[in-house]
Amino acid sequence: MSDKEIMDQEEIYSKVLRAGRRTYFFDVRSTKAGDYYLTITESKKFTHDDGSFHYKKHKIYLYKEDFMAFKEIMEEMMDYIIEEKGLEVISERHQKDFKKEEETPVSKDDTNSSSFTDVSFDDI
């Protein structure tokens, strides 16, 4: 039996979550004994200066005996973050603010605005 056939035999059920440059893969797999376990894989795309790219992957294996404790702690951690910081994604808010600044046109009169400091060469 080839490696691909073995992999196909082990994969039972899969879901994909695309999140910007990150992709999460949730895969139910089968052990040799026929029991199931979950793998969660984070794949993140990195682009090089020359335009080529590669992916870094991190994988978690989660077995049935750990499901309840994992689920409880995961829910507790997510609830804590939402209670402390809310649902707004801060980096998205900053990106929106940055785009607003970029879109604001600058008129010729703004070059003499108070945002510039008068410097006397005698001060230097």
Q: What pLDDT band is residue 114 in, cutting at 50, 70 and 90?
A: very low
Q: How far apart are CA 55 and CA 22, in angstroms?
A: 9
- The H or E element that residue 82 is part of is helix 67-85
Task: Give the closest residue to 39 by CA, choosing from 50, 24, 49.
Answer: 24
| C-alpha separations of 112 from 87, 101, 115 in Å | 41, 18, 8
Q: Is 15 helix (H, G, I), strand (E, B) or coil?
A: strand
Burial classification of residue 40, based on how many CB atoms lie within 10 Å of its CB (0-12 exposed, 13-18 middle, 19 or more buried): middle
Over 60: is that where the pLDDT of 70 sits?
Answer: yes
- Which pair of tokens denotes residue 59? 């994988």
Domain residue limits, the chain: 3-103
Higher pLDDT: 27 or 113? It is 27
CATH architecture, domain defined by 3-103: Roll (3.10)
Ranges assigned E (strand) in 33-83: 36-47, 53-63
26-65 per-position pLDDT tens digit: 999 999 899 999 999 999 988 888 988 888 999 999 999 9
